[in-house]
A and B are shown apart, each in its own frame.
Chain A
Amino acid sequence: MAEEKDQPGATFDDQPLPDVYPEPHTENSAVLNGEAEEDTSAVTTEESTKDQSVKISPNLLEMLKAAESRRAPQDQDMAKAEPSETETEEMVTEALRQQRWASSQGADMAKWDSWGSNPAFKEPHWMQIQLTDQKQEFNKHPTKTGRRSLSHSISQSSTDSHSSVDSDSSEDGSSPRDKLQKTSKGFSDFCIKNIQQAEFGRRAIEIAQQEMPALMALRKRASGEKPLAGAKVMGCTHITAQTACRWAACNIFSTQNAIAAALAERGIPVFAWRGESEDDFWWCIDRCISAETWQPNMILDDGGDLTHWIYKKHQSLFKKLKGIVEESVTGIYRLYQLSKAGRLCVPAMNVNDSVTKQKFDNLYCCKESILDGLKRTTDIMFGGKQVVVCGYGEVGKGCCSALKALGAVIYVTEVDPICALQACMDGFRVVKLNEVVRQVDMVITCTGNKNVVGREHLDRMKNGCIICNMGHSSTEIELTSLRTSELRWEHVRPQVDHVFWPDGKRIVLLAEGRLLNLSCSTVPSLVLSITATTQALALIELYGAPEGRYKQDVYLLPKKMGKSSA
């Protein structure tokens, strides 16, 4: 799952982060501190987007454009509802939609009330990412080579599962950076939103623990040996109930504040809160690294930001590391580049490609979420429907088997002959999209490629055809081609758009071509458990490995470890 391959430039070399970090802003410092203060109008956002777009990489530009046009209908909505244009209002609108979205999750019904009265809501993941892009416009930090989104996570399981906890209720405007907080033990080496939420977060962690039996089992099995005794692990991951271990957040929106609080309460230094600014983000990472008397010797990273920071800023520290464990595709890509350039001076472990994780992230996870996502958004009945699945990799296999089980008639398109033959043997017709596009009721893309479904295909689809993306990033469906004047867009409910052709034909577009499984479904805890367990094992392996087993290169998790995780 490489949703962020669309930032191909995000390597260490061609996107060096500013050398001047961290520095206070010179201008516009009022908008520094998170989304609560993001009160500039959406119109301005659009303008600034345009202004900046020249410097931005084409892919990012595409994303921004998509985001921009997504704003448009929202603005209309708001105009109808209330002419006020504050960000808060928009958040409320979003929140209302969100409620609907969340209602089917049923994870934590009790929190409904508080959600309703809360302006600062959790949003679906993709929405967040796009907000991020826009927000960066406000953040005047002098990044030179264009902006990168702060959320790097590609692997699904590294992207949040927000379902069980939402903790953003405190409307405390002051940045956590300016506050001094203490745990009950008098420990103050952390920086989070509100330490008082610890209790709540602890409960959430306990809930997650129940669904993550593997990690608990590992804890029990290994706590006798303490295989990580002496290891000073530093991490940069999403902080949700499931990760519940470590410290700086890799995504400015994914932090569950309560969890961070609970961790801090336990004496783990955590530097993260929900809705950090980019500046905050780097500040957190830096605080995380440069504690006196504490030198990290292991890194657990998701997205490669932390690694990059240490590599750039603390060269001497970097050399003393015993190992890096990297989870996301982007981060791994960056590590490989570093390794190729011969500048990777510590062993790194790629946990993204470990068997267990791959299978679970892709095959099993998508098998469930395709049905979930489609049902939630469209309430479609699958029996007898003709579906074309583009791509028969792990994700495609999962989608096909799930749909087949419900009695859908499935076609597959594939470029790789081996995968195509597999599809044949599994009983699916392998076709070209052109051949079936007139007759299918549903198009699902999961190729990892771009422009798999083009405007010419869309033009020929039949009325009411549903189109969605399970692959990666939002490039698979050529959306920009639909943003033309003769087509009318109608936003019917969250994540569902109807696109009308002049002749009245209607196509149902889900999640605006972004990942259906992230936007309209959730990642099960079990899957996250696999990831977390894999990470923990990778850390143990790297730390406990005898001198010389791992050279300065990027490794896959040893098969045996993958097995243990299963």
Chain B
Amino acid sequence: MSDPALDAKLEVKQASKEVKESENVAEKYSAMTVSKNSDMSMGELSSAFSAVPTHKPVKKQIQFVEDKQEFSRFPTKTGRRSLSRSISQSSTDSYSSAASYTDSSDDETSPRDKTQVNSKGSTDFCVKNIKQAEFGRREIEIAEQDMSALISLRKRAQSEKPLAGAKIVGCTHITAQTAVLIETLVALGAQCRWTACNIYSTQNEVAAALSETGVAVFAWKGESEDDFWWCIDRCVNTEGWQPNMILDDGGDLTHWMYKKYPNVFKKIRGIVEESVTGVHRLYQLSKAGKLCVPAMNVNDSVTKQKFDNLYCCRESILDGLKRTTDVMFGGKQVVVCGYGEVGKGCCAALKALGSIVYVTEIDPICGLQACMDGFRVVKLNEIIRQVDVIITCTGNKNVVTRDQLDRMKNGSIVCNMGHSNTEIDVASLRTPELTWERVRSQVDHVIWPDGKRVILLAEGRLLNLSCSTVPTFVLSITATTQALALIELYNAPEGRYKQDVYLLPKKMDEYVASLHLATFDAHLTELSDEQAKYLGLNKNGPFKPNYYRY
């Protein structure tokens, strides 16, 4: 890891993985909005494919992105990196309520070239169309209803203004849910400038609504890579305003500041990073001794992890399968590859509907847990002939191979809940003897010469991102965690955080959870003084040692 050459390689590798990920998101958007604009980002090459509907073979799209980078003249030195790095699911937005329906405007001029003014006369923003603000405001209000935790945080802390004086630059998906977060930060006293971490994920009307309220937002849906970096730069580089906090998702903003504005970067009081990739990059920086500010890794906080993986997937597996295939689960034989948090969620959901669930696992502890939870632990080969559904959630590659696909029975369903699209060896299905038939969006029938059909969902990409949505409640957990991390970093006494990457303190994590308890009308019991003394705990937490496994 310390070898720079190796590092670079690693980064590239990571990046290429990310490219696939970003394609995922991209395609999802294009699928949802059926707009002409969806081709825009494909650049010149896309014209060649214009006859093909939005869903192209994955492999080719990946090449697209790589190709596209040739056209981007921006001098990135460290090799190509994809524009969206988010792996963590909740950072990839829930589009359900707000599938940018306002996007159909045929306005071809880039927002960069337009000058827009909001109602207060400010021009310090760059969005698609400021007139959509009204629309966006409604979206934000809808989102607020499901994000009561942030609202109550707003209420509780409004008088103290814990973020007074904080100047936060943010780089996240810009959606209604993020908007609630941004407005909470503003309500707590912070000044914010915001940009998008993904070129496709911005909800234009939400960006407009934010700009209208005075938050400087630089983002629109369908930016080019060049636009992307331009937005980041505009966000950071403004006269009379020096950021002192960073909220990042993917590490692009951090990287840009680190490279371009080292002097500003040094004065930053803290970085809050959400995605796996971004955290990975921070750790690399820290290892190399080049991280000169404290950073906080919110991705691995207990509450967020549980919700991103276990609870979120438990719901979206059913949702995704139902939406795409209308399969009936009772009595179906399902094999779930991997019994981590995601696998546990999938198994629990399927078992509840009466499926017969098998588990494959490489880790003996997880294997044993599966046994104790009443699932048969098998090798995929042993049961491949008899199962009706295969769900992969290992995080590994080529878990389901061509060899196994060949032996599946007619009509069986294959899908991926893990991460990226490597788990199912889809490339091996792209051979001339197999016929692919697109039956509906995200559903392909692959037909063998003997007439056998295998139903492949979302072309082996993440089912929960492609065919389902992330509930606002889960995003609320993430957003609250981010807000508390910012507050903690900003208010921490000198010296508590050194120049390193930290996890969110347990107490804050517990606070995130307690803010969400109101949703369930849950009443927390309080320790009596005597009990607290007996347990040797503070009455207000933290309640568990750091190594506790929830």
Contacts and interface: CB of A to CB of B under 8 A. Distances in A.
Given A356-B365, A422-B306, A563-B365, A417 B517 contact: yes
B541 interface: yes
Interface in A447-480: 448-452, 475
Interface string A389-432: 01000000000000000000000011111111111110001111
Contact of B365 (A422, A425, A448, A566): A566
Contacts of A432: 523-525
Contacts of A413: 525
Contacts of B378: none
A310 interface: no
Contacts of A419: 543, 550
Contact of B311 (A416, A425, A562): A425
Contacts of B239: none
A430 B510 contact: no
Interface string B505-516: 000011101101
Nearest to B537: A415
A418 B516 CA distance: 10
Contacts of B523: 430-432, 435
A390 B524 CA distance: 11
Contacts of A279: none
A359 interface: yes
By DSSP majority rule, is chain A's interface helix, strand, loop, or mixed? helix
Given A418-B302, A449-B527, A355 B549 contact: yes
Contact of A417 (B363, B510, B528): B510
Given A416-B543, A418-B509, A422-B550, A430 B524 contact: yes
B544 interface: yes
Given A417-B541, A422-B550, A430-B524, A450 B510 contact: no
A364 interface: yes
Contacts of A424: 517, 519-520, 522
A449 B531 CA distance: 6
A433 interface: yes
Interface size classification for chain B: 35 or more
B530 interface: yes
Interface string A330-344: 000000000000000
A358 interface: yes
B549 A358 contact: yes
Contacts of A188: none
B368 interface: yes
A370 to B, nearest CB: 15
A414 B524 contact: yes
B364 A417 contact: no
B259 to A, nearest CB: 37
B372 A418 contact: no
B534 interface: yes
B513 A421 contact: yes
A372 interface: no
Nearest to A359: B369
B365 A451 contact: no
A359 B363 CA distance: 15
A160 B214 CA distance: 69
B535 interface: yes
B547 interface: yes
A359 B364 CA distance: 13
B251 interface: no
B531 A416 contact: no
A449 B534 contact: yes
Contacts of A364: 372
B476 to A, nearest CB: 12
Contact of B522 (A360, A420, A452, A566): A420
A481 interface: no
Given A353-B547, A450-B530, A416 B522 contact: no
Interface in A336-370: 353, 355-356, 358-360, 363-364
Given A359-B365, A420-B522, 17 more contacts: A356-B368, A358-B549, A359-B372, A364-B372, A415-B525, A416-B544, A417-B524, A420-B524, A421-B516, A429-B520, A430-B517, A430-B522, A430-B523, A430-B524, A450-B534, A452-B531, A562-B365
Interface of B: 302-303, 306-307, 310-311, 363-365, 367-369, 372, 509-511, 513-514, 516-517, 519-520, 522-528, 530-531, 534-535, 541, 543-544, 547, 549-550
14 contacts: A353-B547, A359-B372, A416-B510, A418-B302, A419-B543, A420-B514, A425-B306, A430-B522, A432-B525, A449-B527, A556-B547, A563-B363, A563-B364, A563-B365
5 smallest CB-CB distances across A and B, nearest first, come from A430-B522, A417-B514, A566-B364, A417-B513, A416-B543
